Copies of this chain bind each other. A is one copy, B any other.
Amino acid sequence: MTAAQGLADSAFLKAARGEAVPHTPVWFMRQAGRSLPEYLKVREGVGMLESCLDADLTTEITLQPVRRYGVDAAIFFSDIVLPLKAVGVDLDIKPGVGPVVARPVRTLADVEAIPDLTPDAVPTITRAVRQLVAELAGINGGTPLIGFAGAPFTVASYLVEGGPSKEHALTKAMMFGAPDVWDALMRKIAGISAAFLEVQVAAGASAVQLFDSWAGALTPGDYATHVMPHSADVLARVGTLGVPRIHFGVGTTNLLTLMGEAGADVVGIDWRTPLADGIARVGGPEGHCVQGNLDPTLVFAPTEVMLARAGEIIEAGRSARGHIFNLGHGVIPSTDPDQLKRLTEFVQAYPV
């Protein structure tokens, strides 16, 4: 069997296309990260952005959870602000804080000063993806790689606030009060996000996930008017490449329908929305596929409690066009990897 055949048969890609699966596929958002001792070891003394720009380190980190858990997909290890760094925005990721932008974006001139992303700005990304795809072809008969990018609203929040924000007050103030600046900023970021995903797909990624972590802070009306068109632009550009597109945010109960309509093949659902409700919101069995949605804190429950919940989610997922099992948000750093190992085995062994 060739690698391409292996990938075509992958449970993850079949589920993402709404095809019959050999088992319910499973991977975990933030599976490559702080919860793994092998990750903490390779990151010793290495900054976050540095590790995202070192092709060998990115490759190693992305592979670690695939080796450990045997999950059905790898997620490219990166950060939402990495493409901004690559085009020259002065920012850093501070441990315990998050991304910090030296000169927050406030004016049209600030937006215009941000260069577009071209593949030559991210040569280590291309190299890392190529290495990964070659390695992953030999793991479990071929494990697909999911490309990674932040969605325009979430990236805009970092640029406008200058760092992580609970309320996104300055970001929304721009959205409400300076629509021309807002529109320019969102177009700029949409172009960068799309280009960043194109680079990854061109180098061999089999799918992409667009992370709109903060979109849940918006009303459906504001999302539809000010944000969705730009996320739709990103998804449309990636759609021409023929890979499945996953669209995810947190606290998005009221946005799920729109996030599907934005052009997603798979809508990621956080744990707050019961999966059956989420499936109904994205169109039921004839609608979009879904991904999710075990409460990430259930890994701290006794194993039998966690697995019972996972079983309920798999059962609920049967009414979707396709279902990829995942947590409802990223792996919490204090998670015991052995619990995720047991969870992976449980999901993959569950009768389809």
Contact = CB atoms under 8 A, between A and B. Distances in A.
A172 B216 contact: no
B271 A254 contact: no
A305 interface: yes
Contacts of A173: 297, 300-301
A298 interface: yes
A281 to B, nearest CB: 11
A95 to B, nearest CB: 16
A38 interface: no
B295 A219 contact: yes
Interface string A169-181: 1101100110000
A173 to B, nearest CB: 4
A173 B300 CA distance: 5
- Interface hub of A221, A271, A272 (most chain B Cβ within 10 A): A272
Contacts of A277: 254
Nearest to A297: B172
A223 to B, nearest CB: 10
Interface string A50-61: 000000000000
Nearest to A274: B220
A172 B295 contact: yes
Given A173-B300, A295-B172, A334-B169, A251 B272 contact: yes
A131 interface: no
A176 B298 CA distance: 8
B301 A176 contact: yes
Nearest to A176: B301
A273 interface: yes
Sort chain A's interface into a size bin.
Answer: 20 to 34
A272 B301 contact: no
A286 to B, nearest CB: 23
Contacts of A217: 272
A251 B295 CA distance: 15
Nearest to A273: B254
Contacts of A296: 167
A302 interface: yes
A177 B332 contact: no
Nearest to A300: B173
Nearest to A166: B332
A150 to B, nearest CB: 19
A301 B298 CA distance: 40
A144 to B, nearest CB: 29
B274 A176 contact: no
A253 interface: yes
A122 to B, nearest CB: 30
Interface string A253-280: 1100000000000000001111001000
17 contacts: A168-B297, A169-B300, A172-B297, A176-B302, A176-B306, A177-B300, A177-B305, A216-B251, A217-B272, A219-B272, A219-B295, A220-B274, A222-B295, A251-B251, A253-B253, A254-B273, A254-B274
Interface of A: 167-170, 172-173, 176-177, 216-222, 251, 253-254, 271-274, 277, 295-298, 300-302, 305-306, 332, 334
Return the 10 tightest CB-CB contacts between A and B, nearest first: A176-B301, A173-B300, A172-B297, A253-B253, A169-B297, A177-B302, A176-B305, A251-B251, A177-B301, A167-B332
